[in-house]
Amino acid sequence: MPDKTFTVRVKRQQQKDESAHWDEFELRYRPHLNIITCLLDIAEHPLTKDGREVTPVSYEANCLEEVCGACAMLINGYPRQACSALVDNLEKPIRLEPLEKFPLVRDLVVDRSSMFESLKRTHCWIPIDGTYPLGEGPRMSPSLQEEGYPLSRCISCGNCLEICPKVNEHSNFVGAAIVSQVRLFNMHPTGAMNAYERLEALMGPGGIEDCDNAQNCVKVCPKGIPLTESLADVNGQVIRHAVKSWFTGRP
Amino acid sequence: MRTPRIIIVGGGLAGLMAAIRVAESGVPVDLFSIVPVKRSHSVCAQGGINAAKNLKGEGDSTWKHFDDTIYGGDFLANQPLVKGMCEAAPAIIDLLDRMGVMFNRTPEGLLDFRRFGGTLYHRTAFAGATTGQQLLYALDEQVRRHETEGKVTKYEGWTFLSAVIDGSGICRGICAMNLHTMEVRTFRADAAIFCTGGIGAVFGRSTNSVVCTGSAQSALFQQGVVYANGEFIQVHPTAIPGEDKLRLMSESARGEGGRVWVPRKAGDTRPANSIPENERFYFLEEWYPKYGNLVPRDVATRAIHKIVFQDKLGIGGEDAVYLDVTHLPREVLDRKLEGILEIYEKFVGYDPREEPMKVFPAMHYTMGGLWVDNDNQATNVPGIYAAGECEYQYHGANRLGANSLVSCIYGGMLAGPAAVKYSRNLEKGSEAVGESVFEAERTRQREANDKLLHQQGSENPITIWKEMGRTMTENVTVIRYNKAMEATLSKLDELDARYQKINLSDRTQWANQTLQFARELGNMLILARVITIGAIARNETRGAHYKPDFPERDDKNWLKTTKASYNGGRIQLGYEPVDISLIPPRERKYTAAK
């Protein structure tokens, strides 16, 4: 009996300025396959369904257990991690495309460094005095930890930016992931001391006001982070901060 | 006074910690990483980080942590530095806490601790079951802050190819390749710190991430850096088998009360939940009453192998045992283990809160690595330092769970200042070294690329890699026979020959991942040989290194560190004594309290 097979269609583009095309691959079915295994199969036998030799598909991947954020792509049109996308659960033929809201590098590889730049701009860190011994950290209630921990699991995959209607050529909304990080650092006892810096970074163009509450972000977050709660919370913080600085004349 | 410049290769926990320490001392850092550092393999560490803070009234102490680590490592680790690590661990936890790590808390708002393998104390601080991710993010954030202040320059998306070593044998910088433009470039530095992590890919599939190939360590080895204790490979007892990866199921599942069992009757195919208690064989608890499910990893792994291969008691005849957390309160599972249970559910498809997980051992960690000295993480080549999993210093013949994160951070903390001190004391900095030294290295590396890009043949690098992984996993992991390992060496000869006939299916000069992988594969083949040769030579059983033909630990002949070096294309083994000045070796036995 011949092996059971399935088809994967991959959007190929050698470089940003070159035109894109689709390659179709026929792969041998096994149970429990994920998209990473498909891409490895292609790398080992880079032949299209119609027998053309092609280059292996370029893609990003690292941890393969949905905790590093590397392998985000459009799978059947939906932004998600390739490692946790199981072939058994996907409609065939499977379509793979690069994320569209980030500059293309090649095939399924995009450049998401803008997310890390945003984390810089919004001061998403705890400004410790130094790494020399300074004793214990601040006490924290279990309930605060339970609120913060889910936010701290953001893997910077970019799915929430990809799906957001306000991330486009005309608006450079910083995105739910970054806003949620601001919430995390502002709730930390030490981080709260310079909360205003982060809030000011979210005022003006590209800031929190650009969010128009489409609520798509929370649906594509692979880590189930309560992004819409974060958006609402930080929006409230920004408004209170703006009102306060207006009355007091200082940041 | 001239300001030195330091390169760090690798942006996991060790590399980021080293970067912070160097930046704090006012010396600029160039930080190289294949992936954006936030995506480094440290994110995969799940269970926690050890520190004897004694917050549970158990009378724990840093000495007990030290003793557990040495005993767990079967007395192969040099003791003074391990003692230093255990003594530094409580302050490391405090530092991470100050950086904002969302560690789990007690009702009083203090850090919570759980139990882990190889100890009887609650010594493991944790942030859910994604502790490595949380620690990495904390350090990543601090490095980002230094980056905005101009103290750290990141080169993300660059892969290390080789060190630049001058005529007098001193490291003067590195040669690296940009993974988008494929540009091969040299960078000057007065010292380079390597924090390039694990070597899982040498075994094909493992619990490691894609970037953990050991390629950098192997490249350095070929340039004269000594590689120590390569034969000590940790196989983690509980992972989910998969075609692309063996996904770790953290020891913390057992630390929180998870139990390992198989049906008592061979080939029993009833669903797990329908098998009554008295028909379940909790073999770890029966065989090791004191430590039970929390024996060290090498012990648990061998027990599972015995159950499956010798006693034929694998679940329904499969290569699998149950890891059961269904009896634990849901609230505990969700608060303390959610991260890993979610992985199981997503990748296997059922809820491990309801039904026991099916797991099997998987290659997980290398205790061996680049040889470093006893006090400042320096390798034998002046100017080259190493920290984290890529070096050999802290874990002896077997690593205890939750000691890896602390050893990475501690190693980074030492390596950073040591490299700064060395650089400041250099008579002649890298800026005074002639350009020809750098040009020669660039040329050597470009030629290596050109050779691969132009050679004709019929071999695919992925196929060779899979075959290497298979022979290494079969013969050089849990149970080792010299005859089988000799066969692995012959197989590696065959693969070396086939490597010369690789036909790259991508010959372009833009984001060419095939070329990158072929370069890594060449280095992996050499590292595989180092591991195998070391394992053949060591005729004893110690920690993770188990030879049925030599079932006892042999301190008279083998209480020594293996040092592999590379001379004219040949691997040579040498040995040096282990520093056992603090705790005299004693029999390692987990059937009773030690």
- Rounded Cα distance, B484 and B334, in Å: 44
- Which of B337, B362, B387 lies at the terminal end of a domain, its last residue? B362
Q: Looking at the structure, do residues B287 and B331 belong to the same domain, yes or no?
A: yes
Q: Looking at the structure, do residues A104 and A196 belong to the same domain, yes or no?
A: no
User: Cα Rg for chain A, rounded, in angstroms?
Assistant: 21
- In chain B, the percentage of residues whose pLDDT exceeds 70 is 100
Tell me how many domains chain B contains.
2
DSSP B176: E
Of the ranges A57-61, A224-228, B137-141, B347-351, which one carries the lowest mean pLDDT score?
A: B347-351
Q: Which of B21, B247, B259, B297 is catalytic?
A: B297
Q: Looking at the structure, do residues B276 and B394 belong to the same domain, yes or no?
A: no
Q: How confident is the model over B247-261, as a mean pLDDT?
A: 96
Strand ranges (E), B423-471: none
Residue B593 has pLDDT above 90, yes or no: no
In a domain, B102, yes or no: yes
Q: B205 at the A interface (CB within 8 A)?
A: no
Q: What is the 3-state secondary structure (H, E, C) of B345-376?
A: HHHHCCCCCCCCEEEEEEEEEECCEECCCCCC
Q: Looking at the structure, do residues B327 and B431 belong to the same domain, yes or no?
A: no
Quick: pLDDT tens for B318-343: 999 999 999 999 999 999 999 899 99
Range of the domain at B256: 242-362
Q: Could you say which residues from 243 to 302 on chain B have a Cβ atom under 8 Å away from some Cβ of chain A?
A: 243-245, 247-248
Residue of A nearest to B97 (CA): A137
User: Cα Rg for chain B, rounded, in angstroms?
Assistant: 23
In a domain, B296, yes or no: yes
Q: B516 at the A interface (CB within 8 A)?
A: no
- Which of B344, B362, B380 lies at the terminal end of a domain, its last residue? B362
Q: Looking at the structure, do residues B178 and B212 belong to the same domain, yes or no?
A: yes
Closest CA relative to residue B90, chosen from B61, B127, B121, B126: B61
| pTM reported for the whole predicted model | 0.97
Q: How confident is the model over A26-39, as a mean pLDDT?
A: 96
* Minimal C-alpha gap between A68 and chain B (Å): 5
| Chain A residues inside the 8 Å CB shell of B44 | 63, 65, 67-68
- Which of A110, A135, A161 lies at the terminal end of a domain, its last residue? A110
Q: How confident is the model over A78-105, as a mean pLDDT?
A: 97
Interface test with A, best of B208, B211, B243, B464 (most A CBs within 10 A): B243
Report the CATH number at residue A39.
3.10.20.30
Q: Looking at the structure, do residues B220 and B270 belong to the same domain, yes or no?
A: no
Interface test with B, best of A23, A29, A34, A62 (most B CBs within 10 A): A62
Q: Looking at the structure, do residues A145 and A230 belong to the same domain, yes or no?
A: yes
- Rounded Cα distance, B95 and A36, in Å: 37
In a domain, B91, yes or no: yes
Q: Looking at the structure, do residues A210 and A140 belong to the same domain, yes or no?
A: yes
Residue with tokens 């695919």: B460
Residue B434 has pLDDT above 90, yes or no: yes
Report the CATH number at residue B503.
3.50.50.60
Q: Looking at the structure, do residues A240 and A126 belong to the same domain, yes or no?
A: yes
* Predicted local distance difference test score (pLDDT) of residue B16: 98
Which amino acid type is present at position B173? G
* Minimal C-alpha gap between B291 and chain A (Å): 29
| Chain A residues inside the 8 Å CB shell of B20 | 131
In a domain, B237, yes or no: no
Interface test with B, best of A54, A64, A114 (most B CBs within 10 A): A64
* Predicted local distance difference test score (pLDDT) of residue A204: 87
Q: Looking at the structure, do residues A184 and A90 belong to the same domain, yes or no?
A: no
Q: Looking at the structure, do residues B31 and B149 belong to the same domain, yes or no?
A: yes
- Which of B362, B396, B417 lies at the terminal end of a domain, its last residue? B362
What are the φ and ψ backbone dihedral angles of A7, each rounded to 5 degrees? -110, 135
Quick: pLDDT tens for B476-520: 999 999 999 999 999 999 999 999 999 999 999 999 999 999 999
Burial of A111 (0-12, 13-18, 19+ CB in 10 A): middle
Contact between B43 and A68 using a beta-carbon 8 Å cutoff:
yes
Helix (H, G, I), strand (E, B) or coil at B273: helix
In a domain, B572, yes or no: yes
Q: Looking at the structure, do residues A63 and A155 belong to the same domain, yes or no?
A: no
Strand ranges (E), chain A: 5-12, 21-28, 72-75, 78-81, 94-97, 104-106, 109-110, 167-168, 171-172
* Predicted local distance difference test score (pLDDT) of residue A251: 66
Whether B284 contacts B260, CB under 8 Å: yes
Q: Looking at the structure, do residues A129 and A241 belong to the same domain, yes or no?
A: yes
Q: Looking at the structure, do residues B348 and B436 belong to the same domain, yes or no?
A: no
Contact between A136 and B94 using a beta-carbon 8 Å cutoff:
yes
Q: Looking at the structure, do residues A74 and A195 belong to the same domain, yes or no?
A: no
- Which helix H or strand E contains A142, and what residues bound it? helix A142-151
Sheet with B171-178, side-by-side order of all strands: B158-165, B171-178, B184-188
Q: How confident is the model over A24-41, as a mean pLDDT?
A: 96
Average of per-residue pLDDT values in chain B: 96
In a domain, B257, yes or no: yes
Report the CATH number at residue B344.
3.90.700.10
Range of the domain at A103: 5-110
* CA angle centred on B389, ends B387 and B390, rounded to 5°: 70
Q: How confident is the model over B148-167, as a mean pLDDT?
A: 98
Burial of A191 (0-12, 13-18, 19+ CB in 10 A): buried
- Rounded Cα distance, A215 and A202, in Å: 19
Residue A1 has pLDDT above 60, yes or no: no
Report the CATH number at residue A230.
1.10.1060.10
Q: Looking at the structure, do residues B267 and B308 belong to the same domain, yes or no?
A: yes
Q: Looking at the structure, do residues B501 and B567 belong to the same domain, yes or no?
A: yes
Quick: pLDDT tens for B78-106: 999 999 999 999 999 999 999 999 999 99
Tell me how many domains chain A contains.
2
**Sign for the pseudo-dihedral over CA of A34, A35, A36, A42:** positive
Residue of B nearest to A47 (CA): B505
* Predicted local distance difference test score (pLDDT) of residue A171: 80
Quick: pLDDT tens for B337-348: 998 999 999 999
Q: Looking at the structure, do residues B173 and B253 belong to the same domain, yes or no?
A: no
Q: How confident is the model over A50-61, as a mean pLDDT?
A: 97
| Chain A residues inside the 8 Å CB shell of B335 | 146
Closest CA relative to residue B338, chosen from A63, A150, A56: A150
Q: Could you say which residues from 32 to 71 on chain B have a Cβ atom under 8 Å away from some Cβ of chain A?
A: 35-36, 38-41, 43-44
Average of per-residue pLDDT values in chain A: 96
Q: B460 at the A interface (CB within 8 A)?
A: yes
* Predicted local distance difference test score (pLDDT) of residue B417: 98
| Chain A residues inside the 8 Å CB shell of B90 | none
Tokens of B319: 């290569």
In a domain, B482, yes or no: yes
Quick: pLDDT tens for A151-195: 999 999 999 999 999 998 888 899 999 999 999 999 999 999 999
Confidence of residue B1 (pLDDT cuts 50, 70, 90): low
Q: Looking at the structure, do residues A128 and A182 belong to the same domain, yes or no?
A: yes
Q: Looking at the structure, do residues A158 and A120 belong to the same domain, yes or no?
A: yes
Which amino acid type is present at position B273? N
* Minimal C-alpha gap between A247 and chain B (Å): 31
* Predicted local distance difference test score (pLDDT) of residue B594: 65
Contact between B44 and A66 using a beta-carbon 8 Å cutoff:
no
What is the value of ipTM here, to two decimals? 0.97
- Rounded Cα distance, B564 and B573, in Å: 5
Q: B346 at the A interface (CB within 8 A)?
A: yes
Q: How confident is the model over B567-593, as a mean pLDDT?
A: 94
| Nearest neighbour of B245 by CB, restricted to A33, A65, A152 | A65
* Predicted local distance difference test score (pLDDT) of residue A2: 66
Q: Looking at the structure, do residues A64 and A97 belong to the same domain, yes or no?
A: yes
Residue of A nearest to B148 (CA): A120
Strand ranges (E), A41-93: 72-75, 78-81
Q: Looking at the structure, do residues A182 and A100 belong to the same domain, yes or no?
A: no
Q: Looking at the structure, do residues B28 and B142 belong to the same domain, yes or no?
A: yes
Confidence of residue B2 (pLDDT cuts 50, 70, 90): confident
- Which of A85, A110, A135 lies at the terminal end of a domain, its last residue? A110
Q: Looking at the structure, do residues B259 and B400 belong to the same domain, yes or no?
A: no
Residue of A nearest to B130 (CA): A153
- Catalytic (active site) residue B446: no
- In chain A, the percentage of residues whose pLDDT exceeds 70 is 99
